[in-house]
């Protein structure tokens, strides 16, 4: 069980971004290197930020930065860092 990994759900990632003490504490307890997020959760976060863009551009840009920091902290299995920021041609 030493190499156990945790797949964080979208709602957990949102609470982590909000700084929910209990969520942050638990993730730090198991170690961020042992946590990852799915490409589905990543897309849900981007979609939520995009939907908020209609209301406030500043919020959208802030959320994109926060999602980027999450992406740096937690791996997304099957997604290479150099590919996830490329724009489709």
Q: For the chain, what are the domain ranges? A: 6-77
pTM: 0.78
Report pLDDT for 41.
Answer: 93
Cα angle 78, 67, 56; round to 5:
140
List the end-to-end C-alpha distance of the chain, in Å, as a whole number: 43
**What top-level class would CATH report for the domain 6-77?**
alpha beta
Report residue 2's pLDDT band, with 50, 70 and 90 as the boundaries: low
């Amino acid at each position: 069980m030493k190499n156990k990994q945790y797949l964080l759900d979208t709602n957990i990632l949102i609470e982590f971004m909000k700084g929910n003490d209990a969520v942050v504490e638990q993730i730090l307890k198991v170690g961020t290197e042992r946590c990852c997020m799915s490409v589905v959760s990543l897309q849900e976060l981007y979609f939520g930020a995009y939907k908020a863009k209609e209301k406030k551009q500043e919020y959208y840009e802030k959320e994109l930065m926060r999602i980027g920091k999450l992406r740096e902290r937690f791996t997304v299995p099957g997604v290479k860092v150099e590919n996830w920021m490329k724009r489709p041609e």
